[in-house]
Amino acid sequence: MLQISQLKLPCGSGTKPLAGMIARALRAKPGDFTYTISRHSVDARKKPLLFDTYRVDVTLAAGEAAEERLAKRLKNRDIVYKKEIVWALPEKNPDAKILLHRPVVVGAGPAGLFADLVLARAGFRPILIERGKPVEERTKDVERFWKDGKLSPDSNIQFGEGGAGTYSDGKLTTNAKDRMGRTEFILNTFIQAGADPSIAYEALPHIGTDVLRTCVKNIREEVLSLGGTVLFETRVTGLQEKGGALTGAQVYDEKKEEDLLLPCEALILAPGHSARDLVRSLYRAGIPMEQKNFAVGLRVSHPQALINENQYGISDPAELSRLHLAPVSYKLTAKGPSGRGIYSFCMCPGGYIVNASSEEGRLCVNGMSDFARDAARANSAIVVTVGPEEFGGSGVLDGLTFQEALEERAFALGKGSVPIEWYPDYAAGVETGKAPEDLGKEEDSKALCIRGKSRIADLSDLLPKPLAKDLLAGMAHFDRVIPGFAGRECFVAGIESRTSSPVRLPRTEAGESTGLSGLYPTGEGAGFAGGIMSAALDGMRQAEEIEKRFLPNPAWETEKIEIVENIEKNGNDSGTQQ
C-alpha cells in the first residue's frame, strides 16, 4: 500500500475533499485507488487557524508492484510504499509438547483478556480466573458504592471483569514498541467488540468507559464460544509446584466458600496493580520479586472550557461542535527542585474524578470519561515519582506499604468520602504549614464531576512534605504552559496512589518467572505495563510464548473435563506453596 502523510484541511471541512487531494498527490484518477484514514490529529500551532491533519493508506487497483514503482517515481517524502503488517501467531517450536491441562489466565484486565483471547483462538480452551464479577454486575456494585459508600472488596473500580482500565478514560496510546501488528490487532478487536471505528486512526484514541464495558463483555463471549471457561468470584491464593515447575493453582471460590485445586502447567499471572493480598502471598511463597519505582500525587480538576481555550483558542461549545473539535487532552511534564519527575497521568477530558477504593479504611481516586467526553470538567493526576528513599526501607514490599499508608490518611481526611480542596488553599497550606481558616463550603459532587461522595478537607499534610513541594513546583510550571492551571478554578482530590505496581516479578526472555517454570508474570500487576494498550500487548506476547512452546491437548475436544477438584479430596502435598 501507499501511505500519504500531511494532508491538511481546515477544521470543519469533513473528509470528502481527501479523495481529490490523494488523486492530485498521486497524479491519478479517483477510480484508480481506494483509501482508508490511518491517522488523524488537529494542528493548532497557528490558532485561531486550525487544521485537521490526515495520514491515509492507499491501495492502487493496479496492485502492489505499481504502488512501489509509483512511490519511487514521485520522490515525495510524504508518500511512501509500505507493506501491510498483519499479526499472526508465531510458529511452533520443533519440540512443542502437548499440555496435559488447559492453560490458566489469572485476571480479566486488558493483559488477561487479550492473553485469554489469543489462547482461545489458538485452540487452547483457556480457563480465566477473575476475583471480581462479570462487568454487568460489577457496574451495579460500583454505582452502589458511589451512591451509598458500601464497598464490595472484590467488585469495585480495581477488581472485576475488564480490570481497572474499565473505569478510566479508555486511552489506547502507548510508548511500547510493536512491529508485529499487535497494536492493530488490539484496536480491531475492540472495534469488532463495539468500539467506535475512530480508534483505528485517531492520534489519541480512546474508547470511553461506557463503551469499554460492552467491549469487555463481547470479548468474553467470543472466548466462551471458542471453548474457554471463565471463573468469576474466584481468587488465586497460592501456587503448587514440583521440582521448580508449576503443577497447579490454589483458588478460593467465593460463592461456594471452598478451597479448590486447579491443575495446570502454564499460568499467565495478570492480577493488576491492586492485588496486594496476592502479591504478599506470592512473596511469602518465594516467588522472585523486586521493588519498582512508581508515582503518587493528587488528581486535579479544571473546567474543560479552560483547557479547550488554551489549545484551540476557542471555548464556545457551539463553535467547537461546528468545527468537529473534540474536548482537548494534555500531557505535561516537569522536574521538581529535588530532581524528581512530575507529570500528568491518565488525563480525562470531559470526565469525572472517581472514588477508586478497593479496601476498607483506605481511599484512592482515579479519573474516567465516557466516549463522548461531555462532562463539564477535565481532570488528570499530577504525580511525583517515588523510590526507595520515600519508601523508608529496602524491603521488597515497602512501596506497597507506603501506598497503603497514604490511602489510610486520605480515608481519614475525607471521613470515607473523597477529600478535595481548592488548589490555592492547598498550595497556601503546603507553603505556610497552616491551612486557611475558611476552606469553603461543601460543593455538590455532581457539579464538580465527582463520582462518589466528596468532602472539603485540608490536604496539605496528605503527601510527605518533600513530595508536596515538588508537586507545587510542577503546578507552577504547568500554569505557565496552560494559564489558569493553578488558579482558583482548579481543585485537587486525593490520593492518586495506584499509578502502577510498586513491585516487579522478574521473568526470563521466554516470559517465565525466574523462580518458577510455567508461571508467566504479565501486565501492570507484574510490573511490565502501564495502561490498557501496553498491558494488552504484554498479555498477547505471553500467550504467544505458550503457543510456541505447547500444543493443545486433543482430549479437550472430546472429553468432559472436570475443571476444578477439591483440595480436600486430592490432598495438599509438600510441593504446595503457601
**At residue 233, does pLDDT exceed 80?**
yes
CA-CA distances (angstroms) from residue 400 to 336, 362, 395?
23, 13, 10
Q: Residues of the chain with pLDDT > 90: what percent?
A: 87
Q: Residues of the chain with pLDDT > 70: what percent?
A: 96
Mean of pLDDT values over 41-51: 93
**At residue 130, does pLDDT exceed 90?**
yes
Q: What is the pLDDT of residue 433?
A: 86
Which runs of E-coded beta strand occur in 290-376?
Answer: 290-291, 294-303, 333-335, 341-348, 352-355, 365-368
**At residue 439, does pLDDT exceed 60?**
yes
Q: How confident is the model at residue 344 (pLDDT cuts 50, 70, 90)?
A: very high
Q: Where are the CATH 3.30.70.2700 domain residues in the chain?
A: 2-81
φ/ψ of 368, rounded to 5, equals: -150, 155
Which is nearest to 82 in space by CA: 1, 14, 9, 20? Answer: 1
Q: What is the pLDDT of residues 165-209, one digit of tens each?
A: 999 988 998 877 788 999 999 999 999 999 999 999 999 999 999
Contact 283, 397 (CB under 8 A): yes
**At residue 263, does pLDDT exceed 80?**
yes
Mean of the per-residue pLDDT values for the chain? Answer: 93
**At residue 402, does pLDDT exceed 50?**
yes
Mean of pLDDT values over 208-229: 96
Q: How confident is the model at residue 573 (pLDDT cuts 50, 70, 90)?
A: very low
Q: What is the pLDDT of residue 248?
A: 97
Which runs of E-coded beta strand occur in 117-173?
Answer: 127-129
Q: Tell me which DSSP letter residue 193 carries.
A: T
Q: What is the pLDDT of residue 175?
A: 78
Q: Which CATH class is domain 2-81?
A: alpha beta
Helix axes 135-148, 209-225, angle to 10 degrees: 150
The burial of 469, by beta-carbon neighbours within 10 Å (0-12 exposed, 13-18 middle, 19 or more buried), is given as: middle
Contact 390, 181 (CB under 8 A): no
Which is nearest to 520 in space by CA: 556, 552, 551, 544? Answer: 544
Q: What is the pLDDT of residue 571?
A: 39
Which is nearest to 445 in space by CA: 458, 456, 460, 430? Answer: 456
Q: What is the pLDDT of residue 445?
A: 82
Q: What is the pLDDT of residues 486-521, one digit of tens each?
A: 999 999 999 999 999 999 999 999 999 999 999 999
In whole angstroms, give the CA distance from residue 41 to residue 8.
10
Contact 33, 26 (CB under 8 A): yes
**At residue 569, does pLDDT exceed 50?**
no
Rg (CA), the chain: 25
**At residue 441, does pLDDT exceed 80?**
no
**At residue 250, does pLDDT exceed 80?**
yes
Mean of pLDDT values over 204-230: 96
**At residue 316, does pLDDT exceed 60?**
yes
**At residue 576, does pLDDT exceed 50?**
no
Q: How confident is the model at residue 254 (pLDDT cuts 50, 70, 90)?
A: confident
CATH of domain 97-290+512-570: 3.50.50.60
Q: 254: left (phi > 0), else alpha (psi -120 to 50), else beta?
A: alpha
Q: What is the pLDDT of residue 558?
A: 66
Q: Where are the CATH 3.50.50.60 domain residues in the chain?
A: 97-290+512-570
Q: How confident is the model at residue 559 (pLDDT cuts 50, 70, 90)?
A: low
Q: What is the pLDDT of residue 288?
A: 97
